[in-house]
């Protein structure tokens, strides 16, 4: 697609540079481009402002040039990682934005639940597939998930990230790991405190992390990496950080 062809994207927010708070790229300097819209409604969603259609009027229609102007301004023109998040960024065409950024040396990561595949997955440096566990209220369509894996062939890396809220989620994650033994797996305790105006109880957050660490070590399940949600520990549920 030529740069002159206008692809309009619904953008909930663009912010950074900050650090990636979770998963394979935890701690990496990042600018976030958060897409508006999602095909899921998880029971514990912490970004409803980018998911629920009642917030649609807060999403900004932007073309590639407009997005790039903001991203390059935030980064000062210094190439770093751009994270495409949401909502579910896979419901929109980020291909032109990725092509634009790669021309200037930027790297791209995307996190999605694996419900919709896109050809531009193959152009990513990192694709984080985060299938939603039973506590989300959704059931994974593994055929669609496999389509996402095939679409991402040729990308830099593909990893799994699963949030764990309870024993059922944990057992489910173990089954998923057996299904995809060749994919690096990252686990993190879920955060039920999603209100951006309510401070996160750090004691409870630490307890959830301790619980998950104890689960994997007691079971001698040494395949996954267990990580906190670093951004929650530092900034709570504030948006745009």
- pLDDT, tens digit, 9 for 90 and up, residues 149-188: 999 999 999 999 999 999 999 999 999 999 999 999 999 9
Query: Does 63 reside within a domain?
Result: yes
Predicted pLDDT of residue 3: 46
Q: What does the pLDDT average to over 188-192?
A: 89
Tell me how far apart the alpha carbons of residues 160 and 55 are, in angstroms, rounded to a whole number: 29
pLDDT of residue 4 exceeding 50: no
What average pLDDT does the chain have? 92
Read off the pLDDT band of 196 (50, 70, 90): low
Q: Check which CATH number belongs to the domain holding 223 and give it.
A: 3.20.20.70
Query: Does 198 reside within a domain?
Result: yes
Q: Are 229 and 191 in contact (CB under 8 A)?
A: yes
pLDDT tens for 95-139 read: 999 999 999 999 999 999 999 999 999 999 999 999 999 999 999
Overall number of domains in the chain = 1
Main-chain phi, psi angles of 30, to 5 degrees: -150, 145
Predicted pLDDT of residue 198: 73
pLDDT of residue 83 exceeding 50: yes
Query: Does 3 reside within a domain?
Result: no
Q: Edge to edge, what strands does the sheet with 126-129 contain? A: 60-62, 9-19, 29-35, 81-85, 107-112, 126-129, 157-164, 185-189, 225-226
Q: What does the pLDDT average to over 77-97?
A: 96
Terminus-to-terminus CA distance in the chain, angstroms?
32
Query: Does 240 reside within a domain?
Result: no
Query: Does 224 reside within a domain?
Result: yes
Structure pTM?
Answer: 0.92
Read off the pLDDT band of 230 (50, 70, 90): confident
Angle (CA) 117 184 157, round 5°? 50
Query: Does 21 reside within a domain?
Result: yes
pLDDT of residue 235 exceeding 70: no
pLDDT of residue 229 exceeding 50: yes
pLDDT of residue 215 exceeding 60: yes
- Residue-number span of the structural domain to which 164 is assigned: 9-235
Predicted pLDDT of residue 231: 73
Q: Are 14 and 85 in contact (CB under 8 A)?
A: no
Q: Are 66 and 94 in contact (CB under 8 A)?
A: no
Query: Does 56 reside within a domain?
Result: yes
Burial 210-232 (b: 16+ CB within 10 A, else e): eebeebbeeeebeebbbbbbbbb
Query: Does 241 reside within a domain?
Result: no
pLDDT tens for 13-49 read: 999 999 998 999 999 999 999 999 999 999 888 888 8
pLDDT of residue 91 exceeding 90: yes
């Amino acid at each position: 697609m030529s740069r002159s062809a206008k692809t309009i994207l619904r953008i909930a927010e663009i912010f950074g540079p900050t650090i990636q708070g979770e998963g394979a790229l935890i701690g990496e300097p990042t600018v976030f481009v958060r897409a508006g819209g999602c095909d899921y409604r998880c029971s514990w969603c912490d970004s409803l402002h980018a998911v629920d259609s009642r917030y649609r009027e807060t999403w900004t229609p932007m073309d590639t040039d407009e997005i790039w102007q903001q991203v390059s301004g935030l980064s000062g023109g210094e190439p770093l990682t751009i994270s495409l998040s949401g909502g579910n960024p896979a419901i929109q065409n980020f291909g032109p934005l990725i092509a634009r950024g790669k021309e200037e040396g930027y790297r791209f990561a995307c996190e999605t639940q694996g419900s919709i595949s896109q050809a531009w997955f193959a152009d990513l440096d990192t694709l984080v597939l985060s299938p939603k566990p039973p506590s989300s209220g959704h059931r994974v369509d593994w055929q669609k998930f496999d389509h996402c894996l095939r679409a991402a062939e040729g990308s830099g890396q593909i990893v799994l990230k699963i949030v764990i809220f309870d024993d059922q989620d944990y057992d489910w994650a173990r089954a998923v790991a057996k299904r995809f033994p060749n994919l690096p797996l990252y686990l993190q305790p879920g955060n039920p405190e999603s209100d951006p105006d309510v401070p996160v109880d750090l004691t409870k957050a630490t307890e959830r992390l301790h619980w998950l660490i104890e689960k994997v070590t007691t079971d001698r399940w040494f395949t996954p990496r267990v990580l906190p949600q670093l951004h929650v520990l530092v900034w709570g549920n504030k948006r745009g950080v």
